[in-house]
Amino acid sequence: MTFAELKQSLQANPECSLEMVFDGGSAIPPHFHVTEVGHVTKDFIDCGGTRRTTSSCVLQTLVAHDVDHRLSSTKLASILNLTGTVLPNDELPVEVEYDQGTVAIFALNDIRVDSGIIHLILGAKHTACLAPDKCGLDNAPSATTAATTEPERNIMPDPACDPAANC
């Protein structure tokens, strides 16, 4: 789900209640706050030596003690409109940061509107080997969120990541 799709859904459904629901059906408590809207860029080298970059919009949530707090679709849309030049574009995938004793980041997978409630459907993110051919992994699980690749630049020689190298 992109930032543009999220904004469009919020604007098309003003004054709706918001619910952040996990794939399994549990939800972030309804009195959550969105305390940050950020642009996160991750530059990295995969285990095969290819330089990669991923970029996303992260909504940080906080569940405070004010249980009467409720964030409406209109209020969240106004918060998102404050991002200005923080986000390079509206096509970034949206992720939600949530603290359950350990901070975790979830992908915003879907938005469903039902009876005045906007359900933001969150899914787990998973790790994956992005260079299974260079690491000797035949059936590596695929990444849920694909990394965008800069023009391929092999930083390490191929033998550096063979199965015996424990990468």
What pLDDT score was predicted for residue 136? Answer: 77
**CA angle (12, 18, 23) in 5-degree steps:** 110
DSSP conformational letter for 165: G
**What residues are paired with 90 via a beta bridge?**
none
What pLDDT score was predicted for residue 62? Answer: 96
2: tokens are 């992109």
Q: 10 Å Cβ neighbour count for 157?
A: 8
Mind giving me the DSSP string for 34-59? EEEEEEEEEEEE-TTSEEEEEEEEEE
Contact predicate 124/141, CB 8 Å: no
What pLDDT score was predicted for residue 133? Answer: 87
Each of the 167 residues of the chain gets a pLDDT tens digit; together they read 999 999 999 999 999 999 999 988 999 999 999 999 999 999 999 999 999 999 999 999 999 999 999 999 999 999 999 998 999 999 999 999 999 899 999 999 999 999 999 999 999 999 999 998 887 776 655 554 444 444 444 443 344 444 444 44
Q: How far apart are CA 43 and CA 54, in angstroms?
A: 7
The residue with tokens 């706050």 is: 33
What pLDDT score was predicted for residue 152? Answer: 41
Q: Residue ranges per domain, the chain? A: 3-150
What pLDDT score was predicted for residue 76? Answer: 98
